[in-house]
Amino acid sequence: MVGYPKIRPRRLRQNKNIRDAVAETKLTHDNLILPIFVKEGISKPEEISSMPDVYRYPVGDPLIKFVEGNYSKGIRKVILFGIPSFKDNIASSAYQKDGVIQRSLKLLKETFGDKILLFADECTDEYTSHGHCGIVNYRGKQYYIDNDESLKVHAKIALSQAEAGADVIAPSSMMDGVVGAIREELDRNGFTDTLIMSYSVKYASVFYSPFREAASSAPAFGDRKSYQMDPRNANEAIKEARLDLEEGADILMVKPAHTYLDVIRLVKETYPEYPLAAYHVSGEYSMIKAAAINGWLNEKVAVLEITHAIRRAGADMILTYYAPKLAEWILEAS
Ligand code: PBG
């Protein structure tokens, strides 16, 4: 039939230049946030067995070199996770002036100044013997995570991180009111310009398992279902995001990312006026890595597809252990 079909979507897919011109989603270095584990008591980087190619860094030269290398590839944002050598019931190693995360923040701030935007994960799980994201109390023989007692500790940790040089505090505990408690403490101490990126919509997910090995932060008893969200819920994400915004969050986050693209889209459509981050978490990383190591799929193509999907869903920023690789792949493509 001559002249049929008239409308041919394939015209726009003929070659790379046309496809690039009409691509709806772009991925640049500005979209990436690199997570880094810093550990007390080691002298050289330690590979994390469940996360091949990801390392724990000592506070010192290897950390500086790693950040410098990524800076030269275009990475401008890093988020730090501390692994202390001392843990107790109240997370006191999380707010010491010379704690592992405070020393790391200080070192990076002194070395890089404002060249790097420094995020600090704010939580208690890596710093407590029980591994929970708050203070554990008992009613009779029944333990529970004491929300309001936890807020005091979270505010204290956040302040010590801001004092050490963090530009952005990222509370990941899912305690009710934690953003407001931190905002108030920061403001009271003159840190009115310190940003808060809240892990607003954080699910109780099995995909954090490799992270818990990496940070030795698996709960010693129970699970996180009384504070992290139920994976069966999507609308509840709107409530969590709204509360954090009312309490003063500057940036929202959905976590995990790849498994929750619908939630990313929902939060972005509900609050388009707020920047949204998404966390491509450890288990999501390790799944691709394992398949790639086995030769079951092409790692680069898989990671680029998934990362673009997270952007397409509505995330402005992506926290990903693939940031160092993505930074190279973006440079190659440009
Ligand atoms: C809590 C925290 C966790 C992650 C980031 N912050 C662990 C948890 O909630 O159990 C998980 C990140 C990942 O899996 O990559 N401090």
Residue nearest to atom 7 of ligand 1 (CA): 208
Centre of ligand 1 to C-alpha 207, Å, is 9
Ligand 1 mutation target, pool 125, 174, 227, 254, most atoms within 8 A of CB: 125
- Three-state SS at 216: coil
C-alpha closest to that of 71 among 119, 117, 102:
117
* Complex ipTM tops 0.85: yes
Q: What confidence tier does 1 reach under pLDDT thresholds 50, 70, 90?
A: confident
Q: CB-based burial of residue 42 (10 Å sphere; 0-12 exposed, 13-18 middle, 19+ buried)?
A: middle
Q: What confidence tier does 141 reach under pLDDT thresholds 50, 70, 90?
A: confident
Ligand 1 atom having least distance to the Cα of 207:
14
Ligand 1 mutation target, pool 126, 132, 172, most atoms within 8 A of CB: 172
Q: Which residues line ligand 1 (CB under 6 A)?
A: 121, 123, 125, 172, 208, 211-212, 281-282
What percentage of residues in the chain have a pLDDT greater than 70? 100
Mean pLDDT of 286-297: 98
Q: How far apart are CA 143 and CA 94, in angstroms?
A: 22
Mean pLDDT of 251-275: 98
Ligand 1 atom having least distance to the Cα of 219:
10
Ligand 1 mutation target, pool 121, 211, 212, most atoms within 8 A of CB: 211
* Residues forming the active site: 202, 255
Q: How far apart are CA 118 and CA 84, in angstroms?
A: 19
Ligand 1 atom having least distance to the Cα of 228:
9
Residue nearest to atom 11 of ligand 1 (CA): 208
Centre of ligand 1 to C-alpha 39, Å, is 16
Sequence-distant (≥ 6) Cβ neighbours of residue 136 within 8 angstroms = 89, 128, 130, 143, 144, 145, 146
What token pair was written down for 106? Answer: 């200080």
Ligand 1 atom having least distance to the Cα of 210:
14
Ligand 1 atom having least distance to the Cα of 202:
9
pLDDT of residue 334: 75
Residue nearest to atom 14 of ligand 1 (CA): 208
Residue 14 has pLDDT above 90, yes or no: yes
Q: What confidence tier does 2 reach under pLDDT thresholds 50, 70, 90?
A: confident
pLDDT of residue 216: 87
CATH number for domain 27-333, candidates 3.20.20.70, 3.30.420.10, 3.40.640.10, 3.30.420.40: 3.20.20.70
Instruction: Indicate the DSSP class of residue 88.
Output: B
Instruction: Indicate the DSSP class of residue 116.
Output: S
Residue 84 has pLDDT above 80, yes or no: yes
Centre of ligand 1 to C-alpha 160, Å, is 20
Ligand 1 atom having least distance to the Cα of 218:
10
Residue nearest to atom 2 of ligand 1 (CA): 172
Centre of ligand 1 to C-alpha 227, Å, is 13
Ligand 1 mutation target, pool 54, 100, 123, most atoms within 8 A of CB: 123
The answer to whether 59 and 43 are in contact (CB under 8 A) is no
Mean pLDDT over the full length of the chain: 97
Centre of ligand 1 to C-alpha 20, Å, is 35
Centre of ligand 1 to C-alpha 334, Å, is 33
pLDDT in tens, 178-231: 999 999 999 999 999 999 999 999 999 999 999 999 998 899 999 999 999 999
In angstroms, the Cα distances linking 305 to 9, 299, 300 are 21, 10, 8
Centre of ligand 1 to C-alpha 218, Å, is 10
Residue nearest to atom 8 of ligand 1 (CA): 208
